[in-house]
Amino acid sequence: MISEAHAGRPADPIPADDPYPSYRRLHEQGPVHWREDLGAFFVVSYDEAAEVLRGSGWSSDPRNSPELTARLGGPETASGLFAKMLLFMDAPEHGRLRRLVAPSFTPRGVEGLRPRVASVVDAALAALAGADSFDVVSELAYPVPLAVIAELLDVGADGAELLRVETPKLAGMLELDADPKTLADAAEGSAGLAMFLLPILADRRRHPGGDFVSALLAADEQGERLDLDEALATCLLLLVAGHETTAGLVGNGLLALLNHPDQLELLRRRPHLARSAVEELLRFDSPVQRASRIARTDHVLGGHRIQAGRQVLVLLGAANRDPRHFPDPDRLDITRQGAPSLAFGSGPHFCLGAALARLEAQEILVRLVDRFPGLRLDGSRPPSRRPTTALRALRELPVLR
């Protein structure tokens, strides 16, 4: 039976602190749900999520939804936030830009960064050698990816400090149901970083070196190169996708391991499980909980008619716990095999920074649990989460050695 748009609305909002019980209930009710307060459909099943993410009948540009554009503050605000950013582009421009950017993110090239990432992690751990307790987020999950990106961009110590201050504001770009202040902060952060990065980009175009930015600007696709605005948008996306989400992955992942000491001990004893462990942690508590798409044409999805222009929110965290694809989905098992998670999306918009995020998480988690074998949660200071919902990340994760 095909339902009209307003059937099957979820009865309750999904709590940001622990969305998984709500996801479980939604799975029991069906694969697709209408959310009246957001004017959007929720997709919770793996199959329907993959269909939307991989299909050509869906747009990633929020400006294709009049309702969503209005929520974002109008066309001018939406254009300022999303223009020329891969995450929010459609074909054919998306394909052209991705072909120019992709050579900078090949798995082989990223793997070449492993020794440097390991060195950054070891230095951060050495600085904690005398500490009886510390906050994993502020000491490891946040600064290690930031240091790696600062080196990739070759911005120096002052530039790294600016990135540390302004980058958290960019996370608001993922919050498509955000309040005006969150969106204003995102616009402010992107403007501040643009003022800093544009002169650097212009200088690297005139005087290229051996750094990531120079390689990005030199990329050639049938005689076309990135213009400075496209290069800037790519750098801003790198800061969000390569920094904020990696910090979320590390924080969420370590908390999951600390709450499952048998899995923590297994990783400590068998560090060669690092890759499968990170894949399972991505599935178990995805740092990016949803992806937004706009229907280009009318669709039937999961028994619902979806009209052109309607927003669809693919709940990645829910899809990654779909019992039809992940047996016993609420159990953490770092040896799990089977279907790949959708934590980094799928299809044309699969995250270009996925290989770097995985590598950084592998190095941080394996080296951390090896260096501090008695690592445990600090019972006097519980972990706290950031208030964002699309980006699921910890604000603090206090631990004892």
Under 8 Å between Cβ of 41 and 306: yes
Residue 290 Cα distances to 18, 107, 263, 280, angstroms: 14, 24, 26, 18
Instruction: Look at residue 147 and tell me whether its pLDDT is greater than 80.
Output: yes
Of 172 and 94, the structure prediction assigns the larger pLDDT to 94
Least confident among 85-89, 269-273, 329-333, 364-368: 85-89
Under 8 Å between Cβ of 249 and 341: no
Q: Strand pairing of 394-396 and 384-385?
A: antiparallel
- Strand arrangement, sheet containing 398-400: 133-135, 398-400, 376-377
Instruction: Look at residue 1 and tell me whether its pLDDT is greater than 90.
Output: no
Classify the C-alpha dihedral 20-247-395-289 as positive or negative.
negative
CA distance 245 to 242: 6
Q: What is the pLDDT of residue 355?
A: 94
Q: What is the pLDDT of residue 70?
A: 65
Residues 6+ apart with CB under 8 A from 388: 16, 171, 172, 174, 175
Compute φ and ψ for 34, nearest 5 degrees.
-95, 135
Helix 156-170 and helix 180-206, axial crossing angle in degrees, nearest 10 = 150
Question: What mean pLDDT do residues 116-123 have?
Answer: 97
Q: What is the pLDDT of residue 85?
A: 83
CA distance 90 to 98: 11
Q: Indicate the helix (H) or strand (E) that contains 305.
A: strand 304-306
CA distance 397 to 252: 9
Question: What mean pLDDT do residues 254-277 have?
Answer: 98
Q: What is the pLDDT of residue 210?
A: 86
Q: What is the pLDDT of residue 185?
A: 81
Instruction: Look at residue 317 and tell me whether its pLDDT is greater than 80.
Output: yes
Q: pLDDT (tens digit, 9 = 90+) per residue, 321-367?
A: 999 999 999 999 999 999 999 999 999 999 999 999 999 999 999 99
Q: What is the pLDDT of residue 186?
A: 79
Nearest to 145 by CA among 268, 233, 248, 231: 248
Residue 381 Cα distances to 59, 370, 372, 395, angstroms: 43, 23, 19, 12
Position 76 confidence tier, pLDDT thresholds 50, 70, 90: low
DSSP 86: G
Q: pLDDT (tens digit, 9 = 90+) per residue, 156-210?
A: 888 999 998 888 888 776 675 667 777 778 778 888 899 999 999 999 999 998 8
Least confident among 9-13, 21-25, 244-248, 316-320: 9-13
Q: pLDDT (tens digit, 9 = 90+) per residue, 213-232?
A: 999 999 877 788 999 999 99
CATH level 3 topology of 20-400: Cytochrome p450 (1.10.630)
Question: What mean pLDDT do residues 107-120 have?
Answer: 94
Q: What is the pLDDT of residue 7?
A: 46
Q: Based on the number of CB atoms within 10 Å of its own CB, is 290 exposed (0-12), middle (13-18) or buried (19 or more)? A: buried
Tokens, residue 9? 């609305």
Q: What is the pLDDT of residue 334?
A: 99
DSSP 392: -
Position 134 confidence tier, pLDDT thresholds 50, 70, 90: very high
Tokens, residue 346? 């799928």
Q: How many CA atoms lie within 13 A of 190 on its CB side?
A: 28
Q: What is the pLDDT of residue 8?
A: 46
Work out the widest C-alpha separation in the chain, in whole angstroms: 63
Q: What is the mean pLDDT of the chain?
A: 90
Helix (H, G, I), strand (E, B) or coil at 345: coil
Go through 196-213 and write b for each residue having 16 or more CB atoms within 10 A of its CB, e for each that does not: ebeebbeebbeeeeebbb
DSSP per-residue string spanning 167-228: HHHHGGGG-TT--HHHHHHHHHHHHHHHHHHHHHHHHHHHS--SSHHHHHHH--BTTB---H
Position 315 confidence tier, pLDDT thresholds 50, 70, 90: very high
Locate the domains of the chain by residue range.
Answer: 20-400
Q: What is the pLDDT of residue 83?
A: 65
CA distance 121 to 361: 10
